[in-house]
């Protein structure tokens, strides 16, 4: 009679088999797909469909390995095209160097506004439903009088009733300024059906307050100067005092504005050792608590934080497939080499069904002139970095300021190591049209088929797209020119003559004693260095 007991080798084999079966991922009928099947046209979503959660990490396609430049992941069969083959037709693709990199396409630093991208999105997305926009790092650094944050630009194109716009900034006065524009400045104040919130917080992974005294000191000093050539001083002199530095200048005592000064939690100070603690919040916390867990159409990340601080919160949104487009800036603030960071982000997003695109600045419609991209140009095209066109920055990108722009060095005016990336949900097939629109506006020929299924269907014919542009290549949409281009065209922006050293009053301009006892221009004098006579007359050293 055969024994019922298993031999030791057989028992071990059985245990091993059971362990494998037990630890197999349990796949529900709602998540039985990989990145490859996810992009099948049958699984594509229309604008009216809700987005189910992304597959669990165990279903991600491709293996990954780590090398000297960081994580590298498999993203499918590569197209046999080097990055420089995408450059304008002025390049001879047949003789292109096989070692061409993304840097071969870059000719200047990033586009300083998202408005051209919003124009393209408005051609792809109708403003017929509520949308959600989250602006992390909402300081306004461009536009007329430098007042126009991306949150305000978005509202020009997407403002359907029920929409939600959230801006977040670590400097309290900038957060207060954006809320002022939401509530009191036309046309945003009249958008009563749109919820507009400006939050004061730092964005990161750590709970609790962050010490940002140095950041606050620099911002206060930058905003409160009274030098003759200083932009904010010029704005004030010519009656344009409601710029984004208005509140810090009011606290310092250098503003000409008569607008009410909002209350704040901090005293004005240019001392980097000041106590300026800012509440820290994760991206996921902002999404859950302030956006109510709604699907986010556009998330902008420009918070000068290390990538490691942003990843945990961002992963929550990606896993839930809760965002259609993520726009982020790569520069020296990301906490690691740009080449390594770009590859990490490329793998991170790809595993969740998103593809990366580099937003490449261009001179405008029909331009093929090499190195002729004006600093004020707000137009851009979109170069794929994922899937079939998986590409990496040169390993030394941005490490040497003296390097060429192609290696992330600095030119006379700009830092080419600062560039913009877009992560686009590949289950939004209409967004492939962004590449078509960018190619049209910039005379580039970037492909969109990062996978075989994500094909480019231009949203309009060439004739229809051309009708939306002026002869000079400036978009002529209902709102006219882009803010940045309108600013460029209007040289006397502040309503008076352009300031110059020769127009400075005879005898110069004296600095003003600020609220914290320092002077408003030149080297910051400590209060103890201020003479009694200067304190009594409030007459400081001459401004440069």
**pTM confidence score:** 0.81
257 and 385, same domain (yes or no):
no
Q: 219 or 467, which is more confident?
A: 219
pLDDT value at 85 more than 80 = no
pLDDT at 231: 82
* Same domain as 393, residue 302: yes
pLDDT of residue 167: 98
Tokens of 490: 């209007």
Span 390-414, pLDDT tens digits: 888 877 888 888 888 888 888 777 7
Do the domain assignments include residue 386? yes
| Under 8 Å between Cβ of 421 and 357 | yes
**What would the two tokens of residue 147 be?**
């007042």
Would residue 35 count as lying in a domain?
Answer: no
Return the SS3 of 156.
helix
Q: Are residues 280 and 268 in the same domain?
A: no
Give the residue, 94 or 196, on which the prediction is more confident: 196
Q: What is the pLDDT of residue 55?
A: 38
CA distances (Å), 531 to each of 226, 535, 536, in order?
Answer: 20, 6, 9
User: Is the domain of 438 the same as that of 459?
Assistant: yes
Per the domain annotation, does 302 fall within a domain? yes
360 and 326 part of one domain? yes
Q: Which residues of 232-268 are buried (b: 16+ CB within 10 A; e: fewer)?
A: bbbbbbbebbbbbbbbbbbbbebbebeeeeeeeebeb
Are 406 and 525 members of one domain?
Answer: no
DSSP class of 289? I
pLDDT per residue as tens digits for the range 285-324: 999 999 999 999 999 998 877 777 888 899 999 999 999 9
Q: How many domains does the chain have?
A: 2
* 469 or 373: which leads in pLDDT: 373
Residues 174 and 266 in one domain: no
DSSP-derived secondary structure for 71-113: EEE--SSPPS--GGGGS-TTS-GGG--TT--GGGT--SS--S-
Residue 86 has pLDDT above 60, yes or no: yes
Q: Which residue has the tokens 């957060």?
A: 175
pLDDT at 191: 93
- Exposed, middle or buried, 91 (CB in 10 Å: 0-12/13-18/19+)? middle
pLDDT at 180 over 90: yes
> What b/e readout covers 148-173, taking b as 16+ CB neighbours within 10 angstroms?
bbbbbbbbbbbbeeebbbbbbbbbbb
**Alpha carbon distance 380, 368 (integer Å):** 13
Would you tell me the crossing angle of helices 213-224 and 172-184 to the nearest 10 degrees? 60
Between CA 155 and CA 167 the distance in angstroms is 12
Using CA atoms, how far apart are residues 59 and 451, in angstroms rounded to an integer?
Answer: 18
Q: Which two structure tokens, joined as six digits, stand for 126?
A: 């109708």
Report whether pLDDT(371) > 60: no
Per-residue pLDDT of 473-487, as tens digits, reads: 334 443 346 766 665
Residue 187, preceding peptide bond in cis (omega within 30° of 0) = yes
Q: What percent of the chain has pLDDT over 90?
A: 31
149 and 280 co-located in one domain: yes
Asked if residue 479 lies in contact with residue 156, where contact means CB atoms within 8 angstroms, the answer is yes
Q: Do the domain assignments include residue 333?
A: yes
pLDDT at 349 over 50: yes
Beta-carbon contacts of 448 under 8 Å, excluding residues fewer than 6 positions away, are 384, 432, 434, 435, 436, 454, 455, 456
* 52 domain-assigned: no
| Cα–Cα distance for residue pair 298/117, rounded to 1 Å | 11
Q: Are residues 372 and 515 in the same domain?
A: no
- In terms of domains, do 287 and 365 share one? yes
Residue 23 maps to a domain: no
DSSP 43: G
pLDDT top residue among 166 and 385 = 166
**pLDDT greater than 90 at residue 131:** yes
Range of the domain at 218: 214-274+510-542
Same domain, residue pair 399 and 530: no
Cα–Cα distance, 456 to 449 (Å, whole number): 7
Residue-wise pLDDT for 485-541, tens only, equals 665 555 554 444 556 666 777 777 778 888 887 888 755 444 445 555 555 555 677
Residue 94 sits in a domain whose CATH number is 3.40.50.150
Whether 298 and 251 map to the same domain: the answer is no
Residue 442 lies in a domain: yes
Question: Is 400 a member of any domain?
Answer: yes
């Amino acid at each position: 009679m055969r024994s019922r007991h298993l031999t030791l080798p057989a028992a071990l084999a059985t245990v091993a088999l059971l362990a494998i079966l037990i630890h197999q991922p349990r796949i529900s009928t709602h998540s039985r797909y990989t990145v490859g099947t996810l992009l099948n046209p049958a699984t594509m979503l229309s604008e009216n469909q809700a987005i189910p959660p992304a597959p669990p990490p165990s279903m991600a396609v491709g293996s990954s390995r780590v090398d000297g430049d960081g994580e590298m992941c498999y993203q499918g069969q590569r197209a046999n095209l080097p990055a420089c083959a995408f450059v304008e037709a002025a390049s001879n693709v047949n003789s292109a160097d096989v070692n061409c990199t993304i840097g071969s396409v870059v000719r200047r630093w990033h586009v300083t506004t998202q408005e051209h991208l919003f124009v393209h999105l408005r051609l792809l997305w109708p403003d017929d439903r509520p949308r959600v926009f989250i602006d992390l790092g909402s300081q306004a650094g461009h536009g007329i009088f430098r007042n126009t944050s991306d949150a305000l630009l978005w509202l020009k194109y997407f403002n359907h009733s029920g929409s939600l716009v959230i801006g977040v900034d670590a400097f309290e006065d900038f957060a207060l300024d954006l809320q002022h524009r939401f509530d009191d400045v036309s046309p945003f104040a009249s958008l009563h059906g749109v919820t507009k919130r400006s939050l004061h917080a730092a964005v990161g992974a750590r709970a609790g307050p962050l010490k940002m005294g140095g950041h606050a000191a620099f911002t206060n000093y930058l905003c409160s100067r009274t030098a003759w050539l200083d932009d904010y001083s010029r704005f004030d002199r010519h009656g344009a005092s409601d710029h984004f530095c208005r509140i810090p200048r009011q606290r310092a005592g250098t503003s000409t504005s008569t607008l009410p000064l909002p209350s704040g939690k901090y005293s004005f100070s240019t001392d980097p050792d000041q106590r300026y603690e800012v509440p820290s919040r994760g991206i996921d916390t902002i999404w859950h608590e302030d956006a109510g867990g709604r699907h986010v159409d556009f998330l902008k990340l420009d918070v000068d934080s290390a990538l490691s601080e942003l990843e945990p919160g961002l992963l929550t949104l990606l896993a839930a497939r809760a965002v259609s487009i993520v726009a982020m800036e790569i520069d020296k603030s990301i906490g690691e080499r740009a080449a390594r960071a770009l590859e990490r982000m490329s793998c991170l997003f790809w595993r969740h069904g998103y593809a990366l695109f580099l937003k490449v600045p261009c001179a405008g419609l029909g331009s093929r002139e090499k190195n002729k991209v004006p600093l004020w140009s707000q137009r851009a095209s979109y170069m794929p970095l994922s899937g079939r066109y998986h590409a990496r920055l040169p390993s030394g990108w941005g490490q040497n300021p003296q390097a060429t722009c192609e290696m992330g060095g600095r030119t006379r005016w700009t830092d080419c190591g600062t560039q913009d990336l877009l992560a686009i949900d590949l289950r939004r097939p209409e967004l492939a049209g962004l590449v078509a629109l960018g190619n049209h506006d910039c005379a580039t020929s970037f492909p969109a088929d990062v996978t075989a299924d994500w094909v480019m269907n231009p949203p309009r014919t060439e004739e229809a797209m051309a009708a939306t542009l002026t002869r000079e290549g400036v978009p002529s949409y209902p709102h006219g020119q882009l803010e940045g281009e309108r600013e460029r065209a209007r040289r006397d922006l502040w309503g008076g003559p352009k300031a110059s050293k020769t127009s400075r009053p005879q005898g110069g301009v004296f600095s003003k004693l600020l609220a914290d006892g320092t002077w408003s221009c030149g080297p910051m004098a400590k209060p103890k260095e201020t003479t009694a006579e200067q304190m009594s007359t409030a007459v400081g050293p001459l401004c440069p």
